[in-house]
Amino acid sequence: MKKILVVAGRSGSGKTSALQVLEDLGFYIIDNLPLVLVPEIVAKLSNDNAMELLALGVDIRSLNIDQVSIDDVLNELERHGAVEVVYLTAREEVLVSRYASSRRPHPLANKYESLTECIRVEEQLLYPVYRRATLTIDTSSKTVHELKHTLSVKLGQGDNLIVILQSFGFKHGIPLDADYVFDLRHLVNPHWINELRRYTGLDPQIKEFLAADAMVNDMYADIYQFVDKWLPVFSQGHRHFVTISLGCTGGQHRSVYFVDRLAEDLKAKWSVQVLHREMKHWS
């Protein structure tokens, strides 16, 4: 097989939607197969040359750590193709809200008294899978279309490192899929200048304003130096991507400016993808 994806994550974080997206991308889908049976099934499919792209849905119901470990299963799967683990997550309050809307029981509802306890226990039980994840996606604020875009970008890159630069607003929550997070809230804020408030970090008015500030330039120089130093190391370590998130209060001015500037300076050396998470909130 060319690629085997193990798709796992917290219940309510969008695993079913992710598998549907992967099916549209050409993957053959097997969902909720008990983990102990996975190596045998994959070996059979591999021997039969049945497919090149396979995605295996795994959740808390298909895991049984008393019978087999995720490490043993992944090591066995690597005999049949390139293996990646996609782990989906979302903030706790988002998961609670989703369950309240769907009125579906949590898979652990028969063992614990509250939904919050189920969510927290599940996170602990899934930690061995999370630890092996090659791609973590925070779906807290993503639509299905945005999830499809994210999966297409992050799974279609081949062997080259892709640098994902993401702007965000702290008031909307820290992205859970970031490898590195830089806080820009201490820098001068265009939001408090009436004539600049309606613009974004992509507009020349904001770029000129921020570029004229010494502390902004010092912060940018430090971030660029860090990124420029460590990206070659990540690439040599066979990383497929690295997600660098830069946040300000609302995700409209400072973080957008930094991401845009950093993308411009890095694109000569690296394949760069830009995501402005809070674009839908821009006025």
Binding positions for GTP are 59-62
Residues annotated within a binding site for ATP: 9-16
Q: Positive or negative, the Cα torsion across 111, 116, 117, 118?
A: positive
Pairing mode, if any, of strands 162-169 and 241-248?
A: parallel
Dihedral class, residue 187 (left if φ above 0, else alpha if ψ from -120 to 50, else beta): beta
Rounded Cα distance between 255 and 277, Å, is: 10
Specify binding-site residues: 9-16, 59-62
Burial class (CB in 10 A: 0-12, 13-18, 19+), 89: buried
Name 165's bridge partners: 244, 274
Is residue 137 within 8 Å of residue 8, measured between CB atoms?
no
Cα separation of 254 and 189, whole Å? 7
| CB distance 171 to 250 below 8 Å | yes
Go through 174-194 and write b for each residue having 16 or more CB atoms within 10 A of its CB, e for each that does not.
ebbbbeeebebeebbbbeeee
The residue written with tokens 């209060």 in the block is 249
The label of the residue with tokens 């809230």 reads 185
